[in-house]
Amino acid sequence: MSETLPPFLAACRRLPVPHTPIWIMRQAGRYLPEYRALREKHDFLTLMRTPELAAEVTLQPIRRFALDAAILFADIMTPLDGLDLGLRFAPGPVIERPLRTAAAVEAFAAHRGAGGVESVDQAIRLVRERLPREVPLICFAGAPFTLFCYLVEGRASKHFPTARAFLYAEPAASALLLDVLADIAIAYLEAQARAGAQALMLFDSWAGLLARDEYARVCLPPMRKVLAAVGHLGLPRIYFPLDGAPLLADAATLPVEVLGVDWRTPLSRAREIVGPTLALQGNLDPMALFADDAELDRRIDRVLEEAGSGPAHIFNLGHGIEATTDPDKVARLVDRVHRATAVPTFAQSTV
Amino acid sequence: MSETLPPFLAACRRLPVPHTPIWIMRQAGRYLPEYRALREKHDFLTLMRTPELAAEVTLQPIRRFALDAAILFADIMTPLDGLDLGLRFAPGPVIERPLRTAAAVEAFAAHRGAGGVESVDQAIRLVRERLPREVPLICFAGAPFTLFCYLVEGRASKHFPTARAFLYAEPAASALLLDVLADIAIAYLEAQARAGAQALMLFDSWAGLLARDEYARVCLPPMRKVLAAVGHLGLPRIYFPLDGAPLLADAATLPVEVLGVDWRTPLSRAREIVGPTLALQGNLDPMALFADDAELDRRIDRVLEEAGSGPAHIFNLGHGIEATTDPDKVARLVDRVHRATAVPTFAQSTV
C-alpha cells in the first residue's frame, strides 16, 4: 500500500519510502529570484491574500527543485487576518491593536471564526490543481501560544516580555485567549483541509521562551485541543516547537504524527527522547548552506546518520531558509538527500 | 573564616552563608525612577562612559534594596567601545561597521587592546569607595561568541543569520575573530580587577543559538581561554549562557566558580547536570514580578526549594529585570529571600 502514497505522506505515517522525502521551511520565499521578482510588484500581504499569486509562489520552488512536498504560501498569522487587529507585516508580523487587558481579551473572544479563510481556500484549490500527484500540499498555522505572543506583544521581540508578563498578571484572561486562539486555529485548519490540504503543520515559534512546567501549563492544553479536534480529518499533523530541546518529551505526548526538530537538537537525541512512535522532521542548520560544498555534504550526511535508517524521517532544515541562500545549494541538498537514501527496490522505473 | 566574607563572595566559593545572597541582573536600570530621571538628562553611552554617572547608577539599587552585590553599570559591549567599530545603542547595541569579510577580521585583529577600559577603571574606583564592605562589586563583559554575534551581524537579531552564516562560510576568520575577542575580554577583565572588581561575570547571551557540538567547537575554546587567563586574579568567575539548557554539561567543564542558569531550567535539574562543584546563580522568571503577591511568593519559594539547602546558591532572576517592573516587587523579593534563608546562628548581631 505504501508504494502508492507519495513519499512525504508515507514518511509521516512511518511507512517505507523510496527515498527520504525532503522539503524546506520557507522554500517559497526570498532566496528565489522568481519570488523576489514578484515581490517587487506586490507587497507581502497582497501575495498572501491573492489566491492566484499565493498559488504561484507556492509552486515556484516545486518547479525548480525535486521537493517532496509543497507548503502553502501564507503566514503563521494568517488565521488572524481580517479579525480587526490591524495585522500587517514590517516585515515581521505587527498587530496594531494588541490585546493587553482582560477587557480587550474578552471583547476579542466574541469572535469565534478564523480569519484568512477565504483567500487560503481558493489558493489551496489552485495549487492542488497544478501540483503533481507525488507532491502533497502542507498547510499550516501558528500554534496558539505563538499567536498569543504576537497578539499581546504586538510585534516580534527577543523575549516577548509584555506577553510573558501578561501570563502572570492576567492568568484567567490568558487562558481564555489561548482557548480562543485554539478555536481559531481549528476553524482555519478545518477550512484548509476542506479545500485540499494534505498535511497540517503547527508552528510554535516561541515555545522555547517557556520553562518546561510553564510549557505544560500554558502551551500544551490549547495545542492538544487543536490537534485532537483536527484528528478526524485524517491528515498527518506536524508540530514544530522552535528552541524546544527541553520540551520535546512533553511535545511528544501530543496527538501528532510528526514532530519538527530545530537545528540545535541532534535527531538521534530527539529520537531517544520521543521514542519510536512519531516521525521526525528536520534538521540541517540553515546556515550550513553557506558552507563550501564539501562541508555542506558532511553536514547533510551527519543529519541523515543521526536520523538513522528507519523510514520515519522527513528531511528539512532546522529552521526557515535564509533569504541570502544560494538556490544552487538547495539543489545540491535535495539531490544529495535523494541519492543517499534511495532504496533500489523502489526505483523500478529507473533501472 | 567565611563569616568574614560578604555573603555573595562566600556563596561563590560554596562556603556557609548567613542567608542566601541575592542580586538582580540589570538591577541598575530603567525600572528605577531615579535611573529614568538620570536618563532624561544623559544618553546611555554618556552614562556608561562618565565615571561619576556610571558610579551613581551602579549605587542606586544598593541604596534602595538590601542587595548582596552591586554590578557595575556598563554593557556587555563596553570592551568594544573605542575600537573604531561605530558602536552605539539604539537602544540595543549597534555596530556601524560590522566585520563581514575575512579581510575585515584580519584588519581588526591588529588591535589587541580592549576598549572602554579608562572609563570603567575610574567608575570602579568611585563605586568601591562608596559601597558598604558587605556589598561586593561584580564587573562583567560579553563572552567572545556573543561579541562575535554583534560584531558580524551589526545589531541584535532573532537568530543572527549573518553571524551564524559567517561561521560556516569563513571558518578560519571566525576562529581568528573569536580568539581576538578572547584577548580583548582578558585585557578588559584584568583592568577591571586592577581597579577593584570583586567578581567577574561573562554573559553569553547568544550561546543558545548553537547546537551542542557547535557550542563545544565555537564557543568553548575562547571562553576557556578567557576564564583560564583571569584565574590568577583570584576573583570568582561567573559564566551565564542564556538559553543554555542543552549546553550546561559542557559549560560546567569551564574553569568557573559560578554558573548562571536562565529561567527555563529548574535549578534542581541544573544541579543534576553540573554536579556539586559549582555554585549556581538564578533563576526566578523576571516576569513572575508581574504576578500578584501570593503567586510571586510561591514562585520565589519554588526557586529556593529547587536550589536546595546547600550554601552554593546565589539568588537572581533568570534574565535581566524588565523595565516596567514595579520596584516594590523587587523589595518584596529581596526581603523574602533573606527571611526564608536566614540562618539563626549567623544572625548574632540581630538577636
Domain boundary among A256, A285, A311: A256
Domain count, chain B: 1
Calculate the alpha carbon distances from B179 to A117, B155, B206 in Å. Answer: 52, 21, 17
| Alpha carbons B95 and B151: distance in angstroms, whole number | 6
Chain A residues whose CB is inside 8 A of the B324 CB are 161, 165
Kindly compute the dihedral angle of the four CA atoms of residues B62, B65, B66, B72, in this order, to the nearest 10 degrees: -30
Which of B165, B263, B290 minimises the CB distance to A211? Answer: B263
Tell me if chain B has a CB within 8 Å of the CB of A263. yes
Name the closest residue on chain A to residue B156, using Cα atoms: A158
Q: Is residue B336 part of a domain?
A: yes
Q: Are residues A309 and A248 in the same domain?
A: no
- B350 confidence band (pLDDT: 50, 70, 90): very low
Tell me if chain A has a CB within 8 Å of the CB of B320. no
Mean of the per-residue pLDDT values of chain B: 95
Q: Is residue A75 part of a domain?
A: yes
CB contact under 8 A, B161 and A324: yes
Q: Are residues A237 and A93 in the same domain?
A: yes
pLDDT of residue A216: 96
Calculate the alpha carbon distances from A25 to A17, A188, A203, A316 in Å. Answer: 21, 20, 11, 7
Q: Is residue A175 part of a domain?
A: yes
Phi, psi dihedrals of residue B317, rounded to the nearest 5°: -75, 165
pLDDT of residue B346: 60
Q: Is residue A300 part of a domain?
A: yes
Per-residue pLDDT of chain A in tens (351 residues, 90 and over written 9): 445 899 999 999 999 999 999 999 999 999 999 999 999 999 999 999 999 999 999 999 999 999 999 999 999 999 999 999 999 998 899 999 999 999 999 999 987 778 888 889 999 999 999 999 999 999 999 999 999 999 999 999 999 999 999 999 999 999 999 999 999 999 999 999 999 999 999 999 999 999 999 999 999 999 999 999 999 999 999 999 999 999 999 999 999 999 999 999 999 999 999 999 999 999 999 999 999 999 999 999 999 999 997 779 999 999 999 999 999 999 999 999 999 999 886 654 443
Q: Complex ipTM above 0.90?
A: yes
Q: Which residues of A94-112 are buried (b: 16+ CB within 10 A; e: fewer)?
A: bbeebbbebebbeebbeee
Tell me if chain A has a CB within 8 Å of the CB of B102. no
- For residue B168, the enclosing domain spans 2-341
Distance of CA B45 to the CA centre of its chain: 19
Tell me if chain A has a CB within 8 Å of the CB of B168. yes
Calculate the alpha carbon distances from B164 to A24, A126, A315 in Å. Answer: 19, 37, 21
Q: What is the DSSP string of A12-38?
A: HTT---SS--B--TT-SSTTSHHHHHH
CB contact under 8 A, B319 and A169: no
Q: Quick one: DSSP state of residue A328?
A: H
C-alpha cell at B66: 538590601
Q: Are residues A231 and A299 in the same domain?
A: no
Q: Are residues A305 and A178 in the same domain?
A: no
Q: Are residues A89 and A135 in the same domain?
A: yes
pLDDT of residue B351: 35
Tell me if chain A has a CB within 8 Å of the CB of B208. yes
CB contact under 8 A, B168 and A319: no
- B349 confidence band (pLDDT: 50, 70, 90): very low
CB contact under 8 A, B211 and A169: no
Helix axes A117-130, A51-64, angle to 10 degrees: 40
Q: Are residues A15 and A146 in the same domain?
A: no
Q: Are residues A2 and A33 in the same domain?
A: no
Name the closest residue on chain A to residue B160, using Cα atoms: A287
Average pLDDT over residues B62-84: 96
pLDDT of residue A351: 35
pTM: 0.95
Tell me if chain A has a CB within 8 Å of the CB of B161. yes
Q: Is residue A272 part of a domain?
A: no
Q: Are residues A117 and A6 in the same domain?
A: no
CB contact under 8 A, B168 and A245: no
Phi, psi dihedrals of residue B88, rounded to the nearest 5°: -145, 175
SS3 of A300, please? helix
pLDDT of residue A297: 98
pLDDT of residue A346: 60
Supply the CATH number for residue B172's domain: 3.20.20.210
Q: Is residue A323 part of a domain?
A: yes
